[in-house]
Chains A and B, each alone.
Chain A
Amino acid sequence: MKLEFKINNTSKALELLPNETLLNVLRNNDFTEVKCGCNEGECGSCTVLLDGKPVNSCQVLAMSVQEKEITTVKGIGTLYTPHLLQKTFVEAGADQCGFCSPGMVLASYSLLKENPKPTREEILVALDGNLCRCTGYVKIVDAVENTAKKLHSNNLVME
């Protein structure tokens, strides 16, 4: 069956089965930027924002979020119009294999939106649900800190 969802600020009809997870529905409908690392809610690769809050989409029944705003990593910035946070990830070298990146970017985005000047400790807590095996997290945490600094020094708010 087909149902309407609000994804990345547009309304989209997605093909789905009633018992499918949001992760499967998104991936089956070409939102392949949402990655599947474990399908058990333990790695954060499938992170999306629901009304701005990060969730593991593999643990959410798609039917239950029809009324919510769903944001994937492309919803905050694309290759052609990247978000400051995404540019800073690349600049800091926080992008190795990139498989965790969509989830990491979204978890960081959600943090900075709520707390534009997080301490290093607050960043670690915010990223605790997202696994990365390549970077040792050092440059990812740097990227979040650097973004916060850029926002602050340019008097910008996170959008």
Chain B
Amino acid sequence: MFKYVNQPVEKIDGLALVTGEEKYTDDFSFNNMLYVSVLHSGYAYAKILDIDDSEARKMHGVVEILSYKNVNQILYTTAGQGYPEPSPYDTLLFGNTMRFVGDNVCAVAAETKEIADEAIKKIKVTYKELKPILNLEKSEGSPIIIHKDDGAFPKIPVFYDAKKNIASKVEANVGDFDKAFKKSSKKIEFDFYCSYGAHCAIEPHASVSYLDLRGRLVIISTTQVPFHVRRIVSHVAEIPVSKIRVIKPRLGGGFGGKQEILLEPIVALMTWRTKRPAKLVYSRREVFKSTRCRHEYKTKLEVGYEADGTINALHLDALENAGGYGSHALTVLANAGSKTLPLLNKIENLRFTGMGVYTNLPVGGAYRGYGATEAYPGYAQAIDMVCEDCGLDVVEYYKKWCIKSGETSAIFQALGEGKEGVAMNIGSTSLVECLDEGAKLSDWYAKRKLYGPDSDYNKGKRLKRGIGMVAMMQGSAIPEIDMASAYIKMNDDGSFNLNVGATDLGTGSDTVLAQIASEVLDTPVESFIVYSSDTDFTPFDTGAYASSTTYLSGQAVRKCAEEIKKQILKVGAEMLSLSLDEVELDDSRVVAKGKKKEEVSYAEICQYSMYQKNQFQIQATASHISPKSPPPFAVHFIEIEVDTFTGIIKVLNYTATVDCGTPINPVTSEGQVEGAIVNGLSYALFENYYFSPHGKMLNDTFGKFGVYTAFDVPPIKVKLIKSYEETGPYGAKSISEININGALPAIANAFYNATGKRLHNGPFAPESILKVLSEK
């Protein structure tokens, strides 16, 4: 039993958030501050022949203009990943080639935002328009080359062929797919298309910078990766790391969208050159068009199986649209395979092939789900098809074929992030219980029997009902790559400072990490003063991505707290004149084991260690990397009603059972599940990028993009089903990403259950559904 973890502790920043007291990046302003506006390309593909900024520079209040003419041409990747990054170095802060509508042309810093915006209009840019590639299937080997002779290169030794527009390529084989597929008596082949997606964090991207009293550059930014920001700004702006401090204040949502280094180098250069504070806040339209999005995908499935349901061979092929630059192009691709194929590990012959191609469309990046979202619609429909064809219940099928504790998949080793993966055995899993419990909560067996395309319930009806499901896995941190660290020191009233590089995006990780430290030190969460994400004052952490914070940063905090515990016990024993094995921690005290009458409080211990004898600061730091990436599991059941006249799919019930190991905070964990589900639903049924024939995004507002509101949300049942992950803090695994992946595949399977037709194109918007229904 736990005292502080696995408890619904209120978020430590909660009251400050709901009373509007907390500060986000745009809430920071400084005297003498400059306001920055960026001019973005209106062309999908163009060469800038000249920029004439003379009129703008003459304007009263214009202070600095950055463009390719006065900014060093340094290649980098905007992907905020570990170093060396697995994404190609193919981007310039301000170059003279525009590769998508929204690419950076130049930036103006002025005394007011209005002047900066006005100045932007006075800059005369002479473009030579080039013929763009606006279709991901027409990119590979096209005579139009998107990164031609620009020096773009991969930072790590991976396949990269810019001359053929190939930004990334991945292949993994287990067994012999070709042979097993050929031999199979039954075969399925089909495609699934996933549209572009936008994160839609309600807080837009923003950065503010200033010079501190000793001339160092301070950047306050909406970032998930403060340490990567420091490193990459140093590279791009040519400022030493020692002169840069990056602070992440409260963050208004990230979802991967703020794992990119986009605005920070611009304000950094403005401040470094002018010696004045500078602020850049993107408009909502700029966020849609110019930042990063979910990659567009086309997956292809080939499955060879037998009449008894045995799958002999499965091939997942993924074609990914990287857009104009290759940010995360390799790693999202690899995850499309590595986060799906190990799930049914008893399939002996597996093949994954993937290619990321450049186009002149918006740039993909990290987005919650990270490849798994794009791969599960095809994968889970394939499993559903096999079961339908063989007359098997798909829930029972998953129970039989899914990966179990103590088992492995060769895919873990075959597919890594830009290099070979890491072999691992599954430790914790409650997937089978999740399947059983989800089936019960959703009334799966009765409803699956009641519905069906030829059932009395649906036959001849305008409104048809169906139920579908999907089982899924994700990961927890990138094994042997991601690193987190923590620092704790004790204060004289028995409180503690907990400083972590980990980045709370709004998920509640500051609270969750405090709960873990509380559990180790047996002292209330309120005893911890949590400070996070400041490169000057918190130790290194790779950042908030890859579902890593609770699992990885949490374990660093636990290790650090264990060190503190040792020091406290030592001082306590000395004060009580007892030996170390005669004392223990009990409710913010060191007590004599058993008797508990002899005791010293934490306050007394700290005062003793600071002022009285053998003085020293009780403090510790600890780092953690993980040798494995234990998958969380989730099963989603969705019941829908299809209006065959309008093509509208109405979700009637959504049931999710989730294994995240020990939920450190059940309320925030549930919140992660619910938020991801609704984001996934909005993406599955509505959200899409609509482009003009010239590659310009047309629906670049919240309203036109169609983010779900409270009114759109169906009844959702969430149940967390515990397991215990030995390598995680108090048994915890991740939870943040996995649940965004369920809506597309489970709705597609429910649609088949209702209508007998398969869906091959996301999102399942009415017009596309009507088209499918009208097909013979």
> Which A residues are closer than 8 A to B by beta carbons?
32-40, 42-43, 45, 72-74, 77-79, 82, 86-87, 89-102, 105, 123-125, 127-141
Q: Please report the C-alpha to C-alpha distance between residue A132 and residue B682 in the assembled complex, in whole angstroms.
A: 12
Contact with A along B705-748 (1 / 0, CB 8 A): 00111110100100000000000000000000000000000000
The CA-CA distance from A137 to B506 in the complex, in Å, is: 15
Of the candidates B8, B202, B677, B716, which one forms a contact with A131 in the assembled complex, judged by CB atoms under 8 Å apart? B202
Tell me the bound Cα distance from A51 to B505 in angstroms.
34
Q: Does B149 contact A (CB under 8 A)?
A: no
Q: Which residue of B lies closest to A144 (CB)?
A: B710
8 Å CB contact of B508 from A35, A96, A99, A125:
A96
Asked if B679 and A138 make an inter-chain contact with CB atoms under 8 angstroms apart, the answer reads: no
11 contacts between A and B (CB under 8 A): A35-B202, A36-B204, A40-B701, A86-B18, A96-B668, A98-B18, A127-B710, A134-B675, A135-B671, A137-B678, A137-B713
Query: What CA separation (Å) do A100 and B201 show in the bound complex?
Result: 10
A37 touches B204 (CB 8 A): yes
A37-B204, A38-B702, A137-B713 are known contacts. Are A98 and B22 too (CB-CB below 8 A)? yes
Tell whether, in the assembled complex, residue A99 and residue B202 are in contact, meaning their CB atoms are under 8 Å apart. yes
Q: Which residues of B contact A40 (CB under 8 A)?
A: 284, 701-703
Report whether A105 and B18 are in contact in the complex, using a CB–CB cutoff of 8 Å: yes
Other A-B contacts than A73-B18, A137-B713, 10 sampled, CB-CB below 8 A, are A33-B20, A36-B26, A38-B284, A42-B284, A74-B19, A97-B201, A99-B203, A130-B709, A133-B199, A136-B671
When C-beta atoms are compared, the residue in chain A nearest to B250 turns out to be A98
Query: A136 with B23: in contact, given A40-B701, A101-B18 (CB under 8 Å)?
Result: no
Q: Which of B8, B253, B284, B710 is most buried by chain A, counting CB atoms within 10 A of its CB?
A: B710
Binary contact track B649-680/A, C-beta < 8 Å → 1, others 0: 00000000000000000011011001111110
Say yes or no for B11: interface residue by CB 8 A criterion: yes
Known contacts A95-B14, A135-B674: A102-B20 contact under CB 8 Å? yes
A93–B667 contact, CB under 8 A?
yes
What CA separation (Å) do A128 and B13 show in the bound complex? 26
Least CB distance from B525 to A in Å reads 14
Least Cβ distance of A57 to chain B in Å? Answer: 13
Closest-by-CB residue of B relative to A38 is B284
Alpha-carbon gap, A43 to B707, bound state (A): 9
Query: What residues of chain A lie closer than 8 Å to B24, measured between beta carbons?
Result: 35, 99
Number of A-B contacts (CB under 8 A): 188
Residues of B within 8 A of A82 (CB): 15, 18-19
* Residue from B11, B203, B505 within 8 A of A35 (CB atoms): B203
> How distant is the Cα of A124 from the Cα of B678 in the complex, in angstroms?
15
- Least Cβ–Cβ distance between B373 and chain A, in angstroms: 15
When distances are taken between beta carbons in the complex, the residues of chain A under 8 Å from B581 are none
Contacts of B16 in A (CB 8 A): 79, 98
A contact residues around B707 at 8 Å (CB): 131, 133
A90-B183 Cα distance, complex, nearest whole Å: 59
| With known contacts A133-B707, A135-B675, A37–B284 Cβ distance under 8 A | yes
* CB of B193 to closest CB in A, whole Å: 24
A131 CA / B707 CA spacing, docked (Å):
8
**CB-CB under 8 A for A141 and B710, given A32-B23, A42-B701:** yes
The CA of A86 and the CA of B10, in the complex, are separated in Å by 12
Chain A residues lying within 8 Å of B283, measured Cβ to Cβ, are 39
- Is B332's CB within 8 Å of the partner chain A? no
Q: B27 interface residue, CB < 8 Å from A?
A: yes
Q: A74: which B residues are within 8 A, CB to CB?
A: 19-21
Q: Which of A72, A131, A132 contacts B20 (CB 8 A)?
A: A72
Whether B349 is near chain A, meaning CB under 8 Å from some CB there, is no
B93 nearest CB across to chain A (Å): 26
Residues of B within 8 A of A133 (CB): 199-202, 253, 255, 675, 679, 707
Q: Which of B17, B24, B199 has the most CB of A within 10 A?
A: B17
Contacts of A97 in B (CB 8 A): 17, 201-203, 250-253, 505-506
* Interchain nearest-CB distance for A37 vs B (Å): 4
Q: Is residue B223 within 8 Å, beta carbon to beta carbon, of the partner chain? A: no
Distance of B136 from chain A, by nearest CB (Å): 26
Question: What residues of B have a CB within 8 angstroms of the CB of A39 in the complex?
Answer: 283-284
Other-chain contact of B19, A33, A123, A129 (Cβ < 8 Å)? A33
For A129, list chain B residues within 8 Å (CB): 709
In the complex, are the beta carbons of A79 and B711 less than 8 A apart?
Answer: no
| CB of A118, distance to nearest CB on chain B (Å) | 12
Are B702 and A43 within 8 A (Cβ)?
yes
> Smallest CB–CB gap between A47 and chain B, Å?
11
Bound form: Cα–Cα A127–B708 in Å: 12
Measured CB to CB, the nearest residue on chain B to A139 is: B671
B702 touches A42 (CB 8 A): yes
Residue B507 CB within 8 A of the other chain: yes
Q: What CA separation (Å) do A89 and B14 show in the bound complex?
A: 8
What are the 7 closest A-B residue pairs judged by CB atoms, nearest first? Answer: A97-B506, A33-B20, A98-B17, A99-B252, A136-B678, A90-B14, A136-B674
With a CB–CB cut-off of 8 A, which chain A residues contact B253? 96-97, 99, 133-134
Which residues from chain B contact A100 at a C-beta distance below 8 Å? Answer: 202
Chain A residue numbers with a CB within 8 Å of B709 are 127-131, 137
**B residues within 8 A CB of A89?**
14, 18
Write the chain A residue with the least CB distance to B702: A42
Q: How far is the CB of B204 from chain A (nearest CB, A)?
A: 7
- Docked complex Cα distance between A98 and B670 (Å): 16
| Inter-subunit contact B15/A86 (CB<8 Å) | yes
Please, how many angstroms separate the alpha-carbon atoms of A102 and B23 in the complex?
A: 12
Q: Could you tell me the distance in whole angstroms from the C-beta of B294 to the nearest C-beta in chain A? A: 14
Given A38-B701, A99-B24, is A77 in contact with B252 using a C-beta cutoff of 8 Å? no
CA distance A139 to B672 in the complex (A): 11
| B668 contact set on A, CB distance < 8 A | 93, 96
Q: How far is the CB of B731 from chain A (nearest CB, A)?
A: 21
Closest to B284 in A: A38
Q: How far is the CA of A124 from the CA of B201 in the complex (A)?
A: 21
On whether the beta carbons of A35 and B252 are closer than 8 Å, the reply is yes
Q: How far is the CA of A94 from the CA of B675 in the complex (A)?
A: 11
Query: What B residues does A137 contact at CB under 8 A?
Result: 674, 678, 708-710, 713
**Beta-carbon contact of B713 and A98 below 8 Å:** no
Query: In the complex the two chains form, what is the Cα distance from A71 to B524 in whole Å?
Result: 36
Cβ of B18 and Cβ of A93 under 8 Å apart? no
- Tell whether A139 pairs with B674 under 8 Å between CB atoms, given A33-B21, A77-B19: yes
Closest to A106 in B: B20
Report which residue of B8, B23, B251, B675 has the largest number of chain A beta carbons within 10 angstroms of its beta carbon: B675
What separation, in Å, do the CA atoms of A123 and B20 have in the docked complex?
22
Q: Given the interface contacts A35-B252, A37-B203, A38-B701, does A95 sit within 8 Å of B713 by beta carbon?
A: no
Q: Which residue of B lies closest to A98 (CB)?
A: B17
CB of B204 within 8 A of CB of A96, answer no
Other-chain contact of A136, B250, B255, B713 (Cβ < 8 Å):
B713
Distance between Cα atoms of A77 and B203 in the complex (Å): 23
Contact partners of B26 in chain A: CB under 8 A: 32, 36
Chain A residues with Cβ under 8 A from B679's Cβ? Answer: 133, 136
- B710 and A90 contact, CB distance less than 8 A: no
Closest CB in chain A relative to B254 CB, distance in Å: 8
Q: Enumerate chain A residues within 8 angstroms of B27, measured Cβ to Cβ.
A: 32
Chain A residues with CB under 8 A of B713: 124, 136-138
Residues in B with CB closer than 8 Å to A90 are: 10-11, 14-15, 17-18
CA distance A20 to B28 in the complex (A): 20
Q: A90-B10, A136-B713 are in contact. Are A73 and B252 (CB under 8 A)?
A: no
Q: How far is the CA of A96 from the CA of B10 in the complex (A)?
A: 11
Complex CA gap A72/B21 in Å reads 11
For residue B384, give the distance in angstroms from its CB to the closest CB of chain A.
Answer: 25
Closest to A78 in B: B19
Q: Which of A77, A87, A133 has the most CB of B within 10 A?
A: A133
Q: Chain B 2-42 against A: per-residue CB contact (8 Å), 1 yes, 0 no?
A: 00000010110111111111111011000000000000000
Can you name the residue of chain A whose Cβ is closest to the Cβ of B24? A99
- Chain A residues with CB under 8 Å of B8's CB are 93
Is there contact, CB below 8 Å, between A128 and B710? yes
Residues of A within 8 A of B20 (CB): 32-34, 72-74, 101-102
Beta-carbon contact of A91 and B10 below 8 Å: yes
